[in-house]
């Protein structure tokens, strides 16, 4: 079998490896490294990236007796400086070793939550939360904590690696629990698909990319039509027109239909590549009076993870009202928060700049986007952004859907611009920007 940790593995090989990935019997003697072959454990590039640059919260979840402690130990070995939070440790660390009662269990989860709170306050790079987390409400505190403190969430789920039945859980249990307990617990399990999937940037790279976008945007101040529409007439005014988004990701999969999103999330290819480090390449910026998007080139491997499902807002009104908006939603999440642009040079964690080749072409259909900034503080509609972005790029491309050097005109300051409509621009980045990211989901 091909080494899936290598960066030169082809898209077709990845597809085959994903299809061949199987579930295991509980209690089998298969090596733990084979069972828990998550990319954040087996892929060296991913492990190195998270160790050095990530701001990641691992949420370990799964029914009792499915190897959560084993998976937790494996993650802690890979990320030895991580803060580890587990309710069970309350009983091990308490002086009197209290018995498990309703009250002591409540205290144990408060102990776990408080430890996570402190880790976030101290800006810990990696936080590991190990609890059963059978239902969404049981982990809502940690999802909110991640959103408030700008952490990327990776769900480390044991259930999906096994063929799980109540009988199998009973046979694998050493705590004297009966089969009725396991039947009840399995009925409590909730799959928690993300609101969307994508390639997420670490905070340093997010700030760096936004600073580059701002510099390119300032180049439009020599375009009289831009200045008139935006009512900005010098470079300093530009940075106050938009608000920068805190958490940046390049969109991969999205649907307003709950079942479609769940099926996409649980598909072989998404689960196989989930939590993996990808290098994405930014080609330029899409500018309208309401948004700044970075234009991202989609390669063959990224294309495996692209998905756009139902956008039936009438049929799925209740779901979309809850799920299709990125950002703050009552007290569920703060992922949609924005902040002021900083007119200061930012340092990147992983970005590299590459010169354009002579005659280089990119295709409108092979692009996704990162929503970098927006006008005002309102949360935005991801489905509407997808539609407008695709329409704009296809409209601006030539008859073959291509962008070439002839697609852009140079302003007198050297900024390469393609006027899409009277109030919409595409700016070609002075140099292509490659940035490392983590493929995961946005959970609210």
Residue in this structure with the two tokens 């990696």, named with its chain if needed: 126
Going by pLDDT thresholds of 50, 70 and 90, the confidence category of residue 327 is very low
Over residues 262-294, the pLDDT tens digits come to: 999 999 999 999 999 999 999 999 999 999 999
Contacts of 123 (CB under 8 A, 6+ apart): 55, 149
Q: How many CA atoms lie within 13 A of 156 on its CB side?
A: 29
Over residues 1-59, the pLDDT tens digits come to: 445 555 668 999 999 999 998 899 998 889 999 999 999 999 999 999 999 999 999 99
The residue with greater pLDDT, 318 or 153, is 153
**Helices and strands of the chain, counted as H and E runs:** 18, 22
Structure confidence at residue 107 (pLDDT): 86
Stated pTM of the model: 0.91
Over residues 184-216, the pLDDT tens digits come to: 999 999 999 999 999 999 999 999 999 999 999
Rounded to 5°, angle at Cα 387 from 384 and 391:
140
DSSP 69: H
Over residues 231-253, the pLDDT tens digits come to: 988 888 888 889 888 889 999 99
pLDDT > 50? residue 137: yes
Evaluated on CA atoms 277, 280, 285, 290, the torsion sign reads negative
Direct distance between the N- and C-terminal alpha carbons of the chain, in angstroms, rounded to an integer: 37
What does the alpha-carbon distance between residue 233 and residue 220 come to, in Å, rounded to a whole number?
A: 10
Over residues 139-166, the pLDDT tens digits come to: 999 999 999 999 999 999 999 999 999 9
Q: Return the structure tokens found at 294.
A: 């970075």
Structure confidence at residue 321 (pLDDT): 43
pLDDT > 60? residue 400: yes
Task: Say if residue 5 is exposed, middle or buried (CB neighbours under 10 Å; 0-12, 13-18, 19+).
Answer: middle
């Amino acid at each position: 079998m091909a080494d899936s940790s290598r960066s030169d593995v082809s898209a077709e090989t990845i597809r085959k490896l994903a299809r061949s990935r199987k579930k295991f019997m509980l209690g089998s003697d298969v090596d733990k490294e084979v069972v828990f072959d998550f990319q954040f454990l087996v892929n060296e590039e991913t492990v190195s990236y998270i160790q050095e640059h990530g701001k990641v919260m691992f949420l370990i979840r799964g029914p009792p007796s499915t190897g959560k402690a084993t998976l937790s130990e494996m993650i802690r070995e890979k990320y030895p400086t991580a803060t580890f939070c587990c309710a069970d440790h309350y009983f091990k660390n308490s002086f009197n070793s209290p018995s498990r009662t309703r009250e002591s269990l409540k205290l144990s989860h408060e102990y776990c939550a408080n430890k996570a709170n402190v880790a976030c306050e101290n800006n810990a790079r990696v936080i590991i939360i190990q609890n059963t987390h059978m239902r969404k409400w049981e982990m809502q505190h940690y999802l909110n904590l991640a959103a408030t403190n700008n952490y990327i969430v990776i769900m480390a789920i044991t259930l999906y690696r096994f063929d799980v039945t109540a009988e199998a859980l009973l046979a694998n249990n050493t705590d004297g629990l009966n089969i009725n307990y396991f039947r009840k617990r399995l009925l409590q399990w909730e799959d928690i698909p993300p609101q969307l999937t994508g390639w997420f940037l670490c905070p340093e790279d997010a700030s760096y990319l936004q600073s580059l976008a701002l510099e390119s945007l300032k180049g439009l101040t020599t375009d009289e039509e831009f200045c008139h529409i935006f009512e900005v007439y010098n470079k300093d005014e530009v940075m106050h027109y938009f608000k920068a988004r805190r958490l940046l990701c390049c969109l991969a999969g999205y649907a307003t239909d709950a079942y479609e999103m769940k099926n996409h999330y649980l598909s072989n290819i998404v689960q196989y590549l989930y939590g993996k480090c990808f290098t994405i390449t930014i080609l330029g910026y899409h500018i309208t009076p309401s948004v700044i998007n970075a234009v991202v080139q989609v390669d063959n491997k990224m294309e495996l993870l692209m998905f756009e499902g139902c956008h039936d807002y009438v049929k799925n009104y209740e779901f979309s009202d809850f799920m299709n908006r990125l950002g703050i939603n009552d007290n569920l999440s703060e992922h949609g928060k924005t902040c002021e642009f900083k007119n200061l040079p930012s340092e990147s964690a992983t970005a590299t700049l590459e010169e354009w080749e002579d005659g280089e072409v990119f295709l409108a259909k092979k692009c996704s986007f990162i929503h970098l900034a927006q006008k005002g503080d309102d949360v935005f509609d991801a489905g509407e952004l997808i539609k407008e972005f695709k329409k704009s790029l296809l409209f601006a491309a030539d008859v073959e859907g291509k962008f070439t050097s002839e697609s852009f005109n140079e302003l007198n300051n050297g900024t390469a611009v393609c006027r899409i409509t009277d109030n919409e621009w595409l700016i070609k980045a002075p140099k292509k920007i490659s940035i490392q990211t983590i493929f995961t989901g946005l959970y609210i």
